[in-house]
Structure 1
């Protein structure tokens, strides 16, 4: 098989990282694995395997005929059979397919606000879905949505998967006291609800002042980021909550912390929590999206209702005060991530689905 991943940018976001993960994993599993970034390059280019065939289109507008022609030439030259389009890149894939009718399209739905999917704009997707040969959803909620609203009925739920990052240079050194650090790995977006974490940090400063929070994720320097930083300052938490921006050396960052958290209002199936498990960290998260497929409450982590600050604080205190519980949760979560959310497991299902329902279906 000859497959190319199509993504708008290579910034450090969930959809972008999954495009890289698929390209890397497929590079040793199929005849040809490529990745095309249409609009913008970014830090994730450093994580592409050498075996992945890479192209940057430098797309300037929503409808950019030069980008369409450049992608068409790449597809013909490399005899691409299938475009795996992630998130909003489906539009470019459809434009190219109009010039190459035999080309097949898989659309990968990474919609992060899946808990509020009923409000999602859908008309452009519905129209484009006439030309989709299949769809992948990162959780069951999104799979049900595609089945109800899109015209391509060949849909599958495939969980996100993780791999240890390939970045060799260790550059991020976390502040605070070693052995007493808590990590939140999430871009600074409102749906990630870091403001809830600030409220938890305020409570924890009173009971466990030596423990610190470390927020790692892209800073868009927008109104939400300003609101978050103001909240940290207003509560006098500058020595308790640290904001770092994007960090490529995720494994190195995780090696420096004891507990990992996520306080989102909505999620698909977050890579961050899978990475927490892969690196054997004790986890507490809000119960949104498909997180219950990863975290079994009180078995391999804590799941807390969204915005329940007191319950989140209580679970965090239990993990802080009970190292045995931390180790038990971390070990069991690691086992689950390896058995159900690793690259070999997901790629095997992916290839079988394509071979049986798309290429020969």
Structure 2
């Protein structure tokens, strides 16, 4: 089997990380596994296991004929049979299929808010005529695709984590065993405001707890607002913004609690990475999060619009370190049992076949 992953960029994000994860994992299982980035490169490029199977297409517009030509050349040279398009790269995938009709095009939907967002829905419906199969990151998306798109082969397949040891560069500020981390780009719908407000309301910074925000800083109104709130509350020595980082495993090894506060999610890879690093997890209860976390058994769930709820959870964990440690151990066990790389890749190859 010869498969290439198609993704619009290699910046740090859930869909982007899964494209790289699939490319790397499949390289151990099939005859050829590659990856194409259409519009933009990024920090995840350095995580591609076999860089000689990677090509950047430099796509400048929707119908960039040079990018289509490069992709077609790559497909023919490497005898690619299946193009696995992630998220918004489906449109380019369809263009490539028009020039290479023998390939099978699989679309992988990672967008947790698909049902509520009408943007380009008609374009997606037309493009879905060209999909051989659709993969979704939760069952709600699977049901939506079956009802709304023109492809009858739709399957839910979970994400998996594949964090690799990397160069240890990012030293987190603050006191050991008292660090809370949030892996999420600084943008909607990641809902950092609720997290910061909850951290402030909890008062745990008075006990030397610190909050560390790891993710792309676009230096826009969203991030400027967060920085202003931190400054207004004189918490520059308690809340830290680091921008995008590559050494995620090392960052998580320095942390105690991992928080995800998004207002919507599909299947967050972040939670799997928290589990792999054995962090205690506090998560929003949207998307597939509520199926990964059994509240009060292996972590805590909260309403993403209720900062008081989150604030109380942070206080509870600070005051109960033994429970905190038990949650972390159980969450790691649960994720390893149900969402290991081996299990997911085995399921994926069965679905593809």
Mark yes or no: TM-score above 0.5. Answer: yes
Report the equivalent of 1:25: 25
Distance 1:100 1:121 in 2: 24
Question: CA offsets, 1:216-236, max 9 Å, x none?
Answer: 011111211111111211222
Report the equivalent of 1:359: none
Distance 2:191 2:96 in 1: 38
Report the equivalent of 1:149: 148
Distance 1:58 1:334 in 2: 39
The alpha-carbon deviation at position 343 of structure 1 amounts to 1.1
Aligned residue-pair number? 353
Distance 1:258 1:314 in 2: 17
The alpha-carbon deviation at position 118 of structure 1 amounts to 5.2
Distance 2:339 2:220 in 1: 33
1:317-332 residue pairs with structure 2 within 5 A?
317-332=315-330
Question: CA offsets, 1:111-134, max 9 Å, x none?
Answer: 1435x6354541110010000000
Distance 1:354 1:52, change over 3 A: farther
Gaps of 5+ in 1: 356-361
Report the equivalent of 1:257: 255
Distance 1:236 1:31, change over 3 A: same
Distance 2:235 2:286 in 1: 27
Distance 1:327 1:209, change over 3 A: closer
Q: Which runs of 4+ in 1 moved over 6 A?
A: none
Secondary structure of 1:163's counterpart equals: coil
Distance 1:255 1:289 in 2: 26
Report the equivalent of 1:303: 301
Question: CA offsets, 1:289-342, max 9 Å, x none?
Answer: 110111000110001122122221111111111121111111111011111222
Secondary structure of 2:59's counterpart equals: coil
Report the equivalent of 1:132: 131
Q: Does the 8 Å CA contact 1:27/1:52 hold for their aligned counterparts?
A: no
Which of 319, 343, 350 does residue 348 from structure 2 map onto?
350
Report the equivalent of 2:218: 220
Q: TM-score, normalised by structure 2?
A: 0.97
Distance 1:206 1:329 in 2: 20
Distance 1:112 1:188, change over 3 A: farther
1:256-295 residue pairs with structure 2 within 5 A?
256-295=254-293
Secondary structure of 2:197's counterpart equals: helix
Report the equivalent of 1:170: 168
Report the equivalent of 2:195: 197
Q: TM-score, normalised by structure 1?
A: 0.95
Question: CA offsets, 1:215-263, max 9 Å, x none?
Answer: 0011111211111111211222212111101111111001111111111
Report the equivalent of 1:66: 66
Distance 2:269 2:204 in 1: 31
The alpha-carbon deviation at position 204 of structure 1 amounts to 2.6
